[in-house]
Structure 1
């Protein structure tokens, strides 16, 4: 009985709130100018919350299902990972005029040195039958007067557990570009006071592409691993739309010779 009463009262409160905003919409044309800034502020605050709810609800109701985590990887992989932005809704889910160090979710950060940013980031839903990731990242770049533009993705602690010099780390992308673009991927591993870096160029192809980082070419101290992250660097990105439909990592031991 209590739950029914609560549900009924919730609907009553919701109807009253909707009625208040309908009345506000009708009255907005005749209110004193001094009253409009407060009304606008209240309306924008409400819209942000509603947009956030719709973003998450729409995401869960569409395919692929939110939380789907099927990661394509070599059969000998002992670790796989898809970052949260491609698994489900993040907050914020969009940034216009993205400034240096703008973030989407907890794991992805944008870096650039533009004086005036004309960069837009937005998390969108995947809807293709071939998509494994529920979500995607779209970046629109218009005028670009900086010298660098990159994403930084922090890898989870699980990436470092039982990580050895005989491992290969693989980064897979499903990519759509408005025009050809050079993309470089840099794996960074901090061990004690030192850091190792491996750089690979992502093949210039639409669709599925990947790079591999061979840890045998580093002097990584397996006993002092602290942190790992990947830089995804975009060369001359002006006037381009970059759509990352999926991004996954895997790790597997090198075949013995």
Structure 2
């Protein structure tokens, strides 16, 4: 009952406030300069707060919902993960002239050897019907005088927990390119002083872009696995816009032969 009464009061106050500003708008043409300055100042303060509310509401109510970790996982998967950048808003949504070893969020580190960086990164909101990830990553590369560009994506400790040579690790992504280029995914598994690395080229020409890493062909010491991370390596990225709409990882035990 109290909430209903409060809603009625708030509704009445809002209607009154709207009528006041409608009257100000009607009379604005006939007001003197001093009065107009006062109204302009008040209107700007109000607009800042309204824009903030609209921005937050659109971000939270636009599909897919923020925080979503929903994605297709192969049958039998015992672990799955969508990194932070594709799941929720970052505190710093964009970077320009990105230097090597710069971090973007808590999980992504950029590596390159450019003398002058003309690379920008920006987190974008996904709104397409086909998107499952709430956010995406847009990378704009202009002049590129280096020999390599990669993104290192740290994975949480549970990616390493229970990882064995029987596992297949899948990386699935949605990528848009301004012009064609080659992108390689490298899975890194550290076990003690050693690191196993498996490299696969992403099949960008196919409808479903994913690769599987088979750990059976590694020399993995299962008892000493302590860290897993993924590198995305971009070949010839100059003058290109690359949008990673989604990135998700999963693992499953391989079938017994």
Alignment length (residue pairs): 218
**8 Å Cα contact 1:121/1:140 also seen in 2:** yes
Distance in 2, Cα, partners of 1:253 & 1:93: 36
Question: 1:187 aligns to what?
Answer: 187
Deviation at 1:58, TM superposition (A): 3.9
Residue of structure 2 in register with 1:232 after alignment: 232
1:148 paired residue number: 148
**1:106 matched to 2:132:** no
In the alignment, is the contact (CA less than 8 A) between 1:177 and 1:206 conserved in 2? Answer: no
Unaligned runs of 5+ in 1: 5-18, 26-46
Structure 2 equivalent of residue 63 of structure 1: 63
**Secondary structure at the residue paired with 1:216?**
helix
Q: Structure 1 residues 79, 175: closer, same or farther in 2, change over 3 A? A: same
Kept in 2, the 8 Å contact 1:114–1:146? The answer is yes
> In structure 2, do the counterparts of structure 1 residues 122 and 256 end up closer, same or farther at CA, with 3 Å as the change threshold?
same
For residue 134 of structure 1, what is the aligned residue in structure 2?
134
Residue in 2 aligned with 1:210?
210
Shift of 1:89: 0.1
Instruction: Give the superposed CA RMSD.
Output: 2.5
- The aligned residue for residue 44 of structure 1 is none
2:130 is paired with a residue whose SS is: coil
Matches of 2:95 and 2:41 in 1, distance apart?
29
Normalised by the size of structure 2, how large is the TM-score? 0.78
* Cα distance in structure 1, aligned partners of 2:216 and 2:52: 45
The 10-residue stretch of structure 1 (87-96 or 54-63) with the greater mean CA deviation from structure 2: 54-63
Cα drift, residue 206 of structure 1: 6.6
Give distance in 2, aligned partners of 1:187 and 1:243.
Answer: 21
Partner SS for 1:189: strand
Q: Is the partner of 1:233 in helix, strand or coil?
A: strand
CA change 1:87–1:145 in 2 (3 A) is same
Aligned twin of 1:7: none
Inter-partner Cα distance in structure 1 for 2:91 and 2:55: 10
- The runs of 5 or more residues in structure 2 that have no matched partner are 1-5, 7-37
User: Following TM superposition, by how much is the alpha carbon of 1:22 offset from its aligned partner in structure 2, in angstroms?
Assistant: 3.8
Q: How far off its partner does 1:98 sit? A: 1.0
Please give the alpha-carbon distance, in whole angstroms, between the structure 2 residues aligned to 1:59 and 1:256. 45
Q: Give 1:160's aligned residue.
A: 160
